[in-house]
Homo-oligomer: A and B are copies of this chain.
Amino acid sequence: MQHLISLEGMARERLHALLDRAQHFAGLDPRAAPPTSLAGVHVVNLFFEPSTRTRLSFEIAAHRLGAQVVNFDAERSSTLKGETLADTFRTVEAMGAQLFVVRHSESGACEMLSELAGDGTHIVNAGEGRAAHPTQGLLDMLTIRQFAKRPFEDLSIAIVGDIRHSRVARSDLHALRALGCGDIRVCAPAALLPDADELQGCRVVDAADEAVSGCDVLMTLRLQRERMEDGLVDSLDGYYRDYGIDQRRLSLARADAFVMHPGPMNRGVEIESAVADGPRSAILRQVANGVAVRMAVMEALAG
């Protein structure tokens, strides 16, 4: 594996192997002797969209593998001086950076860079357009593996929220299909559902209560405020009433169900605080798993 661009079409065995390795890292004490599998490797955060949380997660993961990290501040860089993305990439690659963590607003940017990359250069997609956010997909799968009482085949998973604009949801769907998840329910206002061809293997459920009923895993998504400005959502109150995850709605799920959210949360919009901070929230575990998964990915690519 030279790059990680998408989870689409990834073999189940490879997915589980990455998750196994991530699970190993999740159990390590960072203050014990550090792993050195990336010693001498330079990781570049090449972020064309700001995302402090994802950048930090990759940066901490890279440090824990012994890599050096440099941050390419795309908002103040030569791309502003008219340099093309390809030239920027080739320049930093020529400096000897081996692993590029790329965030970009346009789908296809990582694929394009991976075609330019030399043999010893690796691209990790850290969120790209609406298309994919594969390490988020992996950390969600690791979280499910840790919390769920049954194998993926037997799980009912409800995804509630703005799936249409969500690269997180897309990567989750790719992974859930690869892992053979038996029952995937998607639920959103019609304007926030993706096109039908993206929902292969899913069941569209109109009412959130019905989507949640009896599920094992409840994934909710961030509602970007611009959806309301764009008229795709009438009101935040209405959205919360119809699609927000509150304690009543959660009570419809299985007794051992848990709630996930990719963050950052809009409390009172897509999730009630009592749920986010409650005993059935897996949200902070997702964050912790993010570092472990990114260690596994970077090691698999460049280790």
- CB neighbors of B among A25-66 (8 A): 29-32, 34, 39-42, 44, 50, 52-53, 56-57, 59-60, 63
Copies in the complex: 3
CB <8 Å contact, A56 and B70: yes
Please report whether the interface of chain A is mostly helix, strand, loop or mixed according to DSSP. Answer: mixed
1/0 per position for A87-107, CB-CB distance to B under 8 A?
A: 110111011110000000000
Known A31-B41, A34-B39, A95-B56; judge A78-B288 contact (CB<8 A): no
Near B by CB (< 8 A), chain A positions 94-144 give 94-97
A76 closest partner in B (C-beta): B50
With a cutoff of 8 Å between Cβ atoms, the chain B residues found around residue A59 in the complex are 70
* Residues A288 and B96 in contact, CB atoms below 8 Å apart: yes
Question: Which residues on the B side are within 8 Å of A91 (C-beta)?
Answer: 53, 263-264, 284, 287
Q: How many residues of A contact B (CB 8 A)?
A: 50
Whole-angstrom distance from the CB of A266 to the nearest CB of chain B? 6
Decide yes or no: A82 and B266 within 8 Å by CB, A91-B53, A284-B94, A288-B94 being known contacts: yes
A68 close to B63 (CB less than 8 A):
yes
Structural contact, B84 and A267, CB atoms closer than 8 A: yes
Asked if A72 is at the interface of the complex by the 8 Å CB criterion, the answer is yes
Alpha-carbon gap, A225 to B91, bound state (A):
21
Assembly CA distance A97 to B288 (angstroms): 10
